[in-house]
A and B are shown apart, each in its own frame.
Chain A
Amino acid sequence: MKTYTNPVYEYRRPPELDGTVRHRGVVIVGAGPVGLAAAIDLAQRGMPVLVLDDDDTVSVGSRAICYAKRTLEILDRLGCGEPVAQKGVSWNVGKVFHGDCLAYQFDLLPEPGHHRPAFVNLQQYYFEEYLVQRAQTLDAAEIRWKHRVVDVSRDEQGVTLRVATPDGDYALSCDWLIVCDGARSPVRRLLGLDTEGQVFRDRFLIADIHMTSDFPTERWFWFDPPFHRNQSVLLHRQADDVWRVDFQLGWDADPEEEKKPANILPRLHAMLGADAVFEIEWASVYTFQCRRMQKFHHGRVVFAGDAAHLVSPFGARGANSGVQDVDNLVWKLDLVVRGLAPESLLDTYDEERIAAADENILHSTRATDFITPKSVVSRTFRDAALSLARHHGFARKLVNSGRLSVPTVLLDSRLNTPTPDHVTFSGAMVPGAPAADAPVFGPRGGWLLDHLGGTFNLLVFGDAVPAAAARILAQDPIACSTIQVGGVAQDGRNVIQDRDGRLATRYDAQPNTCYLLRPDQHVCARWREFDPVAVRGAVARATGHTADTSIAGNAERTAPCMY
C-alpha cells in the first residue's frame, strides 16, 4: 500500500517454553479492535491481562472504517480517543442517488455541545495501531504476537489453552478467557460452539483507492447507478486521501476474477471518470451474514465482537458494537474477579449485549433486504420508496442504505433501578441509556464524560449530597464517585459547572436531581432527591446483588454514618 506500512510487532519467545509457567487471571484471544479495547480497559483497572494474537501486525488492508460517536467516547475513557478522532475524517452529509438522480441527502450534524462527532472514518489499521500504542503504555497489559491458540479446554474453574509459536507449543491456564478472534473465531470452533442466522446471497467488492480528488467528504450511496446498473455502490472517504468504494456484485460474481485489478479498474473508471487518477491500495470480495451465538457467556469463556455476532457492513455496526461489548463486559468481569460481584453478573453481559446484537442484526438485515431485494415485489417497493424520496420527506425514512450505528439503550436490563411512576422525568436519559455528553467547566476537562472515569458515578445537580455521604460512597467496596454540578467545591469533591445549560437540559435536571451512572457510563437509576440508601441499593442492583443483600457485607454497617 502506498499510504500505509504495516508495523511489525516483535515476537518474543515465551518464558513457558523455558519452563517458567504462570497461571493467568484473564487471557484475551485476538488483538483486533475488540480484544485491544478489552485489554486496555482491564489493564487500566489494574487487572493483569495477557493478549494472544496469531499475527504480528495490525489489520492488513482496511476493513472497518466508520467509528461512531459512542465508540470514540469509549476510546476516550480508554485513553486513546484523541488519535482516532484526530486522524479520522469526520463527516455529516450523506447523499443517496437513485439511477441518474440525487434522491435526497441527509445531515447527521449532531446538535451542538458534544465533544465527538457522529462518525469518523478511519482505516482499521490505524485504529488498531493507536490501541496497541495505548496498551503498550500499560504495565498490566501484555500482548504476545505470533501466538496462536490451537487447543482449548475448559471447566468450571477456568480454561487451559495450547498455544503455538514459531518456537513451539506451550500450555497456558487462566481463570477467564475473552474470545475476540473475529468472524471465523478459531477458538469458537475449537470449543464446538456455533452461530445461528442467515447468510445473504450477494457479493460485494471493496476497493480502497488512493485518490486526490475534490469529491466532498460525504457518504455517497447509489442505487442502480448508470455506471453499475442494477446494483448498489458506496463511496466513503478515509484518512490520507484513501477512499472506500463498495460495489454490489450479485451472487453469481466470481470472487477471484472480481478481485483482479484488470477487472476492478474498468468499474472504477466508469464511476470516477475515464481520466480519474487513482491507485488501488487494497481490494477484497466479501459475502456477509447476520448471525450470532446463542449465548456469549459460556462459564469462564466469554465471546465478544465478531466472534459472537456478525452483521452486514451497512450501518457500521460491526466494530462499533464489538467495542460496546467489551465496554459492557470489562467492568463486570473486573468486579467478579475481585470478588465484589457474583459470577451471575456476567449473565447480564449476555442479556444486554444479546439484546444489542439482535437490534444490530435486525437493522442490518433490513438494510440488506432493501439493498438486495429478494423478490420482484421487494424491488418494486424499494424503487417506489426511492422514487418518492425525491419529492416527499416521509419516503426518505423508508429508504434504507444502512441505519447508522447508535448505542443500544439497555431499557430492559435488570441492572436498572426503575423510577417510581410518580417521579417524572423527560428527555432521553432513561435508565439504560448511555450518558449524553455536554459541555462543562471542570477539573478534568471541558466535557461531562471527561469526569466519569470507569467507576460508578453519582451525578448530582446542586449540593444535595453532604460531603460525608459522598466520602462514604467513594469508600464503599464498589466505589461510587459523586460529581456535583454547580455550586462550590467542598471537600475536594469533583465539582463541574454546566457551561451553557445543555447539561441540565439533556438530563432534565432540577435542583437535587441525581443520576447513577454505571462504569460503562450507562444510566442505571435516577431520582429527584438524594437518598443514600437508594443509591446503595441501586449500586447493589447494578452489580448483580439482590436488593436485600449488601455489597460484601459492608453497606448495612456503614449506612447510618451517611446522615
Chain B
Amino acid sequence: MHVLNTELNLAAPDDFYAALLDMHRDLNETQSALVNAKLLLLLANHIGDDAVLRAAMAAARMDVAPQPDIKPC
C-alpha cells in the first residue's frame, strides 16, 4: 500500500504554482470552483489509491474548523 507523499515531488514548484493560477485566468468564482473540482477529480482518478486519497483528504482538512452556517444550494 502506498502512503501519501508530502515531501517535495514537483520538479519546478514555482512553475507549477504559476500554471495552477494561470488555469483560472479569466474565470469568475463559480467557474474557478468548477475547474478546481474537475482538476481534483482528474487527479484523484489518476492516483487511484484509496488510502492515499483519504490521507490527502485528511491532510487537506487539517486546521480547517467546521462551520455551522453551511449554505444550501
Q: Which residues of A contact B (CB under 8 A)?
A: 373-381, 383-385, 387-388, 392, 394-395, 398
Question: What separation, in Å, do the CA atoms of A380 and B29 have in the docked complex?
Answer: 11
A394 and B71 contacting across the interface, CB-CB below 8 Å: no
Sampled A-B contacts (19; CB under 8 Å): A374-B72, A374-B73, A375-B70, A375-B72, A375-B73, A376-B33, A379-B73, A380-B30, A380-B34, A380-B37, A381-B37, A381-B41, A383-B34, A384-B34, A384-B37, A384-B38, A384-B40, A384-B41, A385-B41
Question: What separation, in Å, do the CA atoms of A373 and B72 have in the docked complex?
Answer: 8
CB closest chain-A residue, reference B38: A384
Distance in angstroms from A179 CB to nearest chain B CB is 36
Q: Which residues of B contact A (CB under 8 A)?
A: 30, 33-34, 37-38, 40-42, 45, 70-73
A375 and B34 contacting across the interface, CB-CB below 8 Å: no
B42 and A388 contacting across the interface, CB-CB below 8 Å: yes
Please indicate the chain A residues that have their CB under 8 angstroms from the CB of B40 in the complex.
384
Distance in angstroms from B46 CB to nearest chain A CB is 9
Question: What separation, in Å, do the CA atoms of A374 and B40 have in the docked complex?
Answer: 20
Question: What separation, in Å, do the CA atoms of A224 and B13 have in the docked complex?
Answer: 38
CB closest chain-B residue, reference A230: B73
Please indicate the chain B residues that have their CB under 8 angstroms from the CB of A374 in the complex.
72-73
B70 and A380 contacting across the interface, CB-CB below 8 Å: no
Question: What separation, in Å, do the CA atoms of A383 and B70 have in the docked complex?
Answer: 19
Please indicate the chain B residues that have their CB under 8 angstroms from the CB of A388 in the complex.
38, 41-42
Find the residue from A380, A385, A394 having the highest chain B CB count within 10 A: A380
Please indicate the chain A residues that have their CB under 8 angstroms from the CB of B30 in the complex.
380
Please indicate the chain A residues that have their CB under 8 angstroms from the CB of B41 in the complex.
381, 384-385, 388, 395, 398
A375 and B38 contacting across the interface, CB-CB below 8 Å: no
**A380/B71 contact (C-beta < 8 A), A387-B38, A395-B41 known:** no
A378 and B37 contacting across the interface, CB-CB below 8 Å: no
Question: What separation, in Å, do the CA atoms of A377 and B60 have in the docked complex?
Answer: 15
A sample of 4 more A-B contacts (CB under 8 A), given A375-B73, A385-B41, A387-B34, is: A374-B72, A380-B30, A384-B34, A392-B45
Please indicate the chain A residues that have their CB under 8 angstroms from the CB of B45 in the complex.
392, 394-395
Distance in angstroms from A253 CB to nearest chain B CB is 15
Please indicate the chain A residues that have their CB under 8 angstroms from the CB of B70 in the complex.
375
Question: What separation, in Å, do the CA atoms of A228 and B30 have in the docked complex?
Answer: 21
CB closest chain-A residue, reference B48: A394
Distance in angstroms from B23 CB to nearest chain A CB is 14
Distance in angstroms from A381 CB to nearest chain B CB is 5
CB closest chain-B residue, reference A381: B37
Please indicate the chain B residues that have their CB under 8 angstroms from the CB of A378 in the complex.
73
Distance in angstroms from A326 CB to nearest chain B CB is 37
Pick the contact of B73 from A376, A384, A385, A392 — CB < 8 Å?
A376
Question: What separation, in Å, do the CA atoms of A392 and B42 have in the docked complex?
Answer: 9
A375 and B37 contacting across the interface, CB-CB below 8 Å: no
Distance in angstroms from A229 CB to nearest chain B CB is 13
B33 and A380 contacting across the interface, CB-CB below 8 Å: yes
Please indicate the chain B residues that have their CB under 8 angstroms from the CB of A381 in the complex.
37, 41
Question: What separation, in Å, do the CA atoms of A86 and B24 have in the docked complex?
Answer: 55
Please indicate the chain A residues that have their CB under 8 angstroms from the CB of B73 in the complex.
373-376, 378-379
Please indicate the chain A residues that have their CB under 8 angstroms from the CB of B42 in the complex.
388, 392
Please indicate the chain B residues that have their CB under 8 angstroms from the CB of A383 in the complex.
34, 37
Question: What separation, in Å, do the CA atoms of A384 and B71 have in the docked complex?
Answer: 19
B33 and A375 contacting across the interface, CB-CB below 8 Å: no
Please indicate the chain A residues that have their CB under 8 angstroms from the CB of B38 in the complex.
384, 387-388
CB closest chain-A residue, reference B39: A384
